[in-house]
Amino acid sequence: MTYLVSKPSSALISEATIPGDKSISHRAIMFGAIAEGQTRIEGILEGEDVLATLNAFELMGVGVDRPCPGVVTVEGVGKYGLSEPVRPLDLGNSGTSMRLLTGLLAGQRFDTVLTGDESLKSRPMGRVIEPLSEMGADIESQDNCAPLLIKGCSELQGIQYVLPVASAQVKSAVMLAGLYASGETSIVEPVASRDHTERMLRAFSQKRSEGSKALRISGDEKLVGQIVRVPSDISSAAFFIVGACLLPGSELVLKRIGINPTRDAVLRILTQMGAKISRSDIQDFTNEPVCDLVVHSSELYGIDISIQDVAGAIDEFPIIAVAAAAATGITRIRGAAELRVKESDRITAMVNGLCALGIEASETPDGMDITGGQIKGGQVDSYGDHRIAMAFAVAGGIASAEIKICDADNIATSFPDFVEIANQIGLNISESDSMENV
* Res. 210 pLDDT band, cuts 50 70 90: very low
pLDDT of amino acid 257: 98
User: Is the Cβ–Cβ distance between 302 and 372 less than 8 Å?
Assistant: yes
Q: How many CA atoms does the CB half-sphere of 7 hold within 13 Å?
A: 7
Does 388 score more than 60 pLDDT?
Answer: yes
Equal CATH topology for 3-20+231-437 and 22-210+222-229:
yes
* Secondary element (H or E) of residue 350: helix 346-356
Neighbour-count burial of 65, counting CB atoms closer than 10 A to its CB (0-12 exposed, 13-18 middle, 19+ buried): exposed
* Res. 311 pLDDT band, cuts 50 70 90: confident
Q: What three-state secondary structure class fits 419?
A: helix
Q: What is the pLDDT of residues 123-173, one digit of tens each?
A: 999 999 999 999 999 999 999 999 999 999 878 999 999 999 889 999 999
Going from N- to C-terminal start, the domains of the chain cover: 3-20+231-437, 22-210+222-229
Query: Active-site positions?
Result: 315
DSSP classification of residue 133: H
> Average pLDDT, stretch 258-272?
97
pTM given for the model: 0.93
pLDDT-above-70 percentage for the chain: 97
User: Is the Cβ–Cβ distance between 17 and 256 less than 8 Å?
Assistant: yes
pLDDT of amino acid 436: 58
Buried-exposed string 225-257: b where 16+ CB fall within 10 A, e elsewhere: bbebbbbbbbbbbbbbbbbbbbbeebebbbebb
Does 212 score more than 50 pLDDT?
Answer: no
Which CATH code fits 3-20+231-437?
3.65.10.10
Does 288 score more than 50 pLDDT?
Answer: yes
Q: What is the pLDDT of residues 29-44, one digit of tens each?
A: 999 999 999 999 999 9
Does 435 score more than 80 pLDDT?
Answer: no
> Average pLDDT, stretch 327-332?
98
> Average pLDDT, stretch 372-384?
97
Does 340 score more than 50 pLDDT?
Answer: yes
pLDDT of amino acid 275: 98
Q: Residue 16: left (phi > 0), alpha (psi -120 to 50), or beta?
A: beta
Average pLDDT, the chain: 94
Which CATH code fits 22-210+222-229?
3.65.10.10
